[in-house]
């Protein structure tokens, strides 16, 4: 069937099929959808592609409207679902991103802007997708409870050794035939209340329950050799191990045997990381509020980046966060924040207890970079090394911060001028030849250039590099554009992110 306008239909629930000729024609016309197309003497981009009629032969007629007001038409033979050569609107969306490099537009925005399909606000399909990768996390540790006691000697305090646990949410972000990896908050797996005989402040045991299970840990009625209760997690939990984390990022990773995970629920799948997010975008929060079972709340991204103070291991630090207005409660920590496509855009980690419209999540660039960094380090070292990244040795000033709107994608972003204010002697930055006053414009990893629009993007990108990778920087000096030589990173360039 041809692409048509659909009112009030969830785009994730319906497949729009168009024959391959449509895609071929669009590319042949060099429209590339949002790319520039020559209409008369001026360059214009595509504003919309809409079905405007049907021919006597049963072909669908489409009209392309350009930003300068001009139009062009073409006809397409209607195809049937499953017909050889048929493609979906999702295929066209992926081709659009590949042709234009515009990864910031969501599938829903693409449908609305270029295929004239009105997308409903029903995000039930996105929620259903997100729940497949969402789990409840329990971190068990030895602790002591103190209770008041009376008697002839007066009121006193009686200590009792017990087993406690912290609980939150988590997201499956990678699976292979051997292991399944879950990302959660550092403060979910770390407890300042753990006893000395716990071995460390990290949990002694970790268990996860996937969405759809109602069990929770209970006392087995027996004790271990040290007099602590043994908890029974039931048959619907799978056991995990801690493989690394970073308190300053509030990110930690657990892993479980994939066969154990699939034995509990064979449908569990890894979440996809979003390429980014924008203010106003849907934010669906999945977590384990109050430890009473998983639930879903929905809002939008309110602030794309700000800094909040948070204590994750007894030390208060400043954390870069995104603000969302989806309601969060104690126990939501570590749960995912997802967009309208069911992709992970952040990890819930803090909230304002007095205002449920002011809550925070760790941005996806930090979550993805840190999680993959932890897995890579554990795989290489066989122990929980945590997060490592190199230090460039450059200090920058932020100037001319402003909001920039892109009419072609109907989205905006904040852009900054990132100027070098100091270069540390003997550092990578000095080796690269950076100087005070240089304006940084791109960070280049293994020959791939990443535009730098915000200063924190450099730190996020540094989470993705490993020993043996090459890095370089593009900059402007005295009005001239330039690029440094490449520096090959070695192990001594890296340090552990505490």
Closest to 278 measured CA to CA, from 329, 340, 232:
340
CA distance 307 to 250: 13
**Token representation of residue 72:** 């062009």
Residue 25, pLDDT score: 44
User: What residue ranges of the chain have pLDDT lower than 50?
Assistant: 1-43, 79-87
Which tens digit of pLDDT belongs to each residue from 216-256?
A: 999 999 999 998 999 999 999 999 999 999 999 999 999 99
| CA contacts within 13 A on the Cβ side of 324 | 31
pLDDT digits (tens, 9 = 90+) for 47-83: 666 677 777 776 777 777 766 777 777 666 554 444 4
pLDDT of residue 336: 97
Between the CA of residue 89 and those of 8, 18, 72, what are the distances in Å? Answer: 17, 7, 20
Neighbours of 405 (CB within 10 A): 9
DSSP H or E stretch at residue 128? helix 124-131
- Cα separation values, 56 from 21, 59, 240, Å: 19, 7, 63
| Total-model pTM | 0.77
Contacts made by residues 32-37, CB under 8 angstroms, sequence distance 24+: 32/96, 32/99, 32/100, 33/96, 33/99, 33/100, 33/114, 34/96, 34/100, 34/102, 34/105, 34/114, 34/408, 34/409, 35/99, 35/100, 37/66
Q: What is the Rg, in whole angstroms, of the alpha carbon atoms belonging to the chain?
A: 26
Consecutive H or E run containing 22? helix 20-28
Contact 442, 451 (CB under 8 A): yes
Q: What is the largest CA-CA distance in the chain?
A: 102
pLDDT value, residue 250: 97
Q: For residue 246, which of 459, 452, 424 has the smallest C-alpha distance?
A: 459
- The CB density around residue 333, as the number of other CB atoms within 10 Å, is 28
pLDDT on residue 116: 56
Nearest to 31 by CA among 76, 65, 77: 65
H or E stretch including 254?
strand 251-257
Question: What pLDDT does 49 receive?
Answer: 64
Rounded CA-CA distance 344/130 in Å is 8
Instruction: Tell me if 73 sits within 8 A of 85, measured CB to CB.
Output: no
Q: Where are the beta strands (DSSP E) in 332-469?
A: 336-338, 344-351, 359-363, 387-390, 394-406, 411-423, 439-445, 448-451
Distance of CA 119 to the CA centre of its chain: 23
State the burial class of residue 433 (Cβ atoms within 10 Å of its Cβ: 0-12, 13-18, 19+): middle
Q: pLDDT by residue (tens digit) across 376-401?
A: 999 999 999 999 999 999 999 999 99
Q: How far apart are CA 361 and CA 424, in angstroms?
A: 32
User: CA distances (Å), 221 to each of 90, 138, 229, in order?
Assistant: 54, 19, 7
Q: Do 159 and 144 form a contact (C-beta atoms < 8 A)?
A: yes
Q: Bridge partners of 207?
A: 138, 239
């Amino acid at each position: 069937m041809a692409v048509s306008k659909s009112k009030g239909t969830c785009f994730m629930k319906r497949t729009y099929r168009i024959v391959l000729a449509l895609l071929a024609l669009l590319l042949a016309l060099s429209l590339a959808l949002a790319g520039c197309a020559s209409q008369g003497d001026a360059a214009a981009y595509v504003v919309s592609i809409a079905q405007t009629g049907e021919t006597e032969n049963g072909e669908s007629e489409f009209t392309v409207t350009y930003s300068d007001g001009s139009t062009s038409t073409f006809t397409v033979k209607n195809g049937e679902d499953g017909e050889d050569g048929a493609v979906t609107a999702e295929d066209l969306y992926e081709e659009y991103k590949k042709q234009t490099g515009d990864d910031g537009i969501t599938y829903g925005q693409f449908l609305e802007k270029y295929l004239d399909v009105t997308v409903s606000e029903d995000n039930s399909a996105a929620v259903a997708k997100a729940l497949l990768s969402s789990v409840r996390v329990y971190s068990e540790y030895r602790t002591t409870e103190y209770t008041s006691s009376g008697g002839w000697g007066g009121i006193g305090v009686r200590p009792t050794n017990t087993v406690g646990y912290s609980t939150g949410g988590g997201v499956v972000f990678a699976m292979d035939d051997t292991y399944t990896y879950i990302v959660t908050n550092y403060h979910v797996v770390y407890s300042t209340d753990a006893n000395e005989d716990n071995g460390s402040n990290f949990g002694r045991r970790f268990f996860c329950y996937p969405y759809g299970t109602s069990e929770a840990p209970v006392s087995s009625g027996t004790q271990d050799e040290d007099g602590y209760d043994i908890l029974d997690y039931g048959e619907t939990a799978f056991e995990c191990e801690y493989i690394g984390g970073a308190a300053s990022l509030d990110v930690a990773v657990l892993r479980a045997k994939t066969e154990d995970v699939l034995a509990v629920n064979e449908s569990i799948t890894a979440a996809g990381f979003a390429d980014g997010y924008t203010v106003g975008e849907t934010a669906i929060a999945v977590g384990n509020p109050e430890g009473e079972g998983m639930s879903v709340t929905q809002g939008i991204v309110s602030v794309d980046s700000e800094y909040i103070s948070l204590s994750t291991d007894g030390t208060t630090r400043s954390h870069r966060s995104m603000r969302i207005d989806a309601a969060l409660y104690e126990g939501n920590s570590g749960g995912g924040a997802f967009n309208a496509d069911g992709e992970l855009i952040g990890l819930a980690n803090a909230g304002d207890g007095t205002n449920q419209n002011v809550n925070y999540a760790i941005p996806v660039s930090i979550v993805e970079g840190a999680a993959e960094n932890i897995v890579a380090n554990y795989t290489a070292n066989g122990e929980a090394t945590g997060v490592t990244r190199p230090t460039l040795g450059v200090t920058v000033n932020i100037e001319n911060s402003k909001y920039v709107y892109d009419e072609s994608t109907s989205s905006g972003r904040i852009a900054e001028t990132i100027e070098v204010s100091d270069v540390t002697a003997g550092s990578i930055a000095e080796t690269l030849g950076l100087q005070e006053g240089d304006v940084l414009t791109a960070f280049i990893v293994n020959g791939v250039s990443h535009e730098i629009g915000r200063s924190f993007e450099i730190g996020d990108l540094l989470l993705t590099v490993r020993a043996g990778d090459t890095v370089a920087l593009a900059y402007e000096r005295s009005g001239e554009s330039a690029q440094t030589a490449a520096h090959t990173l070695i192990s001594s360039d890296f340090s552990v992110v505490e």
